[in-house]
Amino acid sequence: MKLNSFFIYLALTFVSLFYGVNYSVLKIVVPEHLDPFGFIFFRVTIAAFIFWVIYFPKREHINWKEDGARLALCSLTGVAINQLLFYKGISLTSAVNGSIIMTLTPVMVLIWASIINREKITRLKIVGLLLGMIGAIIIFYQPDHLLSQGNWKGDVLIFINGASYACYLVIVKPLMKKYQPVTVMTWIFLIGIILVTPVSLSKALATDLSGFSVKVWLSITYAIIVVTVIVYQLNAWTLVRVNSSVVGAFIYLQPVFATATALLFFGEVFLLKHLLAALFVFTGVRLVTKRSS
């Protein structure tokens, strides 16, 4: 493996690690201390401000006539629909249902990429994606209630969220090649504020911030700084260098890291299924990222 490829895959692994840890971090914040929609308002607004501070000194020019519509669509799919439907959906269905449905995202990335960008779907990629999906399902499999608990409306929202994020990973790629990643992320989040405000501002204003403990504030900081600013930047950096389907495939690592976090910090027991699932996931990611000979 070339050194450049190593750093790309390392960055994608960290993205999955940060997202995986975030599942446990979010339990500390929502919905007990902060309404999901209210949290999204704070998350998008603060992230937009941070991106703007980084972007402002250079202020790279955007060709709005050519790229304005694509930027707006990226904001709609990657910020508004993605975040609003995920948090709403997870509140209406079980964690098991939501986690399993989210493992379909890499498959949807592959489909979107083949339709929009004409990315070639090789047999190796298909096998790798299927192995990754099997591994993720093993982790969250519960014999008594696999896809049996939870509201079907929540399941549908989670599915649409996954399809939306998959579409975002594909359509944002040309912008990442044309502009600096921070330029793209700044405008995506600034437009995102306009899109999420109508449904999230009232929830944010109703939040009593004075009652937050240090633990809650640290969790919010992690979700905004690490999971939003750093993760989106890492994703942007990798999208310039590899196909969207490769970036999407690393989503399969998220349930592995999410489970590891729960084992370490929430006292859950390590089972054989966790080891088996990890083998499937890592093998799947390896096949998807393997270059065709």
Q: What is the pLDDT of residues 181-226, one digit of tens each?
A: 999 999 999 999 999 999 999 999 999 888 899 999 999 999 999 9
The mean of the pLDDT values for the chain is 84
Task: Please state the rounded mean pLDDT for residues 71-79.
Answer: 96
Q: What is the C-alpha separation between 225 and 221, in angstroms, rounded?
A: 6
- Over its C-alpha atoms, the chain yields an Rg (Å, rounded) of 19
Q: What is the pTM of this model?
A: 0.80
Nearest Cα to Cα of residue 18 among 253, 183, 195: 253
Q: What is the C-alpha separation between 235 and 176, in angstroms, rounded?
A: 10
Q: Which pLDDT does position 100 carry in this prediction?
A: 63
Nearest Cα to Cα of residue 104 among 63, 136, 147: 136
Q: Which pLDDT does position 99 carry in this prediction?
A: 64
Q: What is the C-alpha separation between 14 and 257, in angstroms, rounded?
A: 10
Nearest Cα to Cα of residue 289 among 253, 245, 251: 245
Nearest Cα to Cα of residue 253 among 226, 235, 279: 279
Containing 233, the helix (H) or strand (E) segment is: helix 231-239
Domain count, the chain: 1
Show Cβ contacts of residue 174 under 8 Å, excluding neighbours closer than 6 positions: 70
The residue type at 223: A
Tokens encoding 218: 């640290």
256 versus 231: the higher-pLDDT residue is 231
Task: Please state the rounded mean pLDDT for residues 245-266.
Answer: 78
Owning domain of residue 221? 3-289
Q: How far from chain centre, in Å, is Cα 269?
A: 26
pLDDT band of residue 258 (cuts 50, 70, 90) is: confident
Q: What is the C-alpha separation between 263 and 200, in angstroms, rounded?
A: 33
pLDDT tens-digit series, residues 18-42: 988 887 787 788 878 888 899 999 9
Task: Please state the rounded mean pLDDT for residues 218-247.
Answer: 89
The residue type at 290: K
For residue 65, is pLDDT > 60? yes
Q: Which pLDDT does position 146 carry in this prediction?
A: 47
Tokens encoding 255: 């349930």
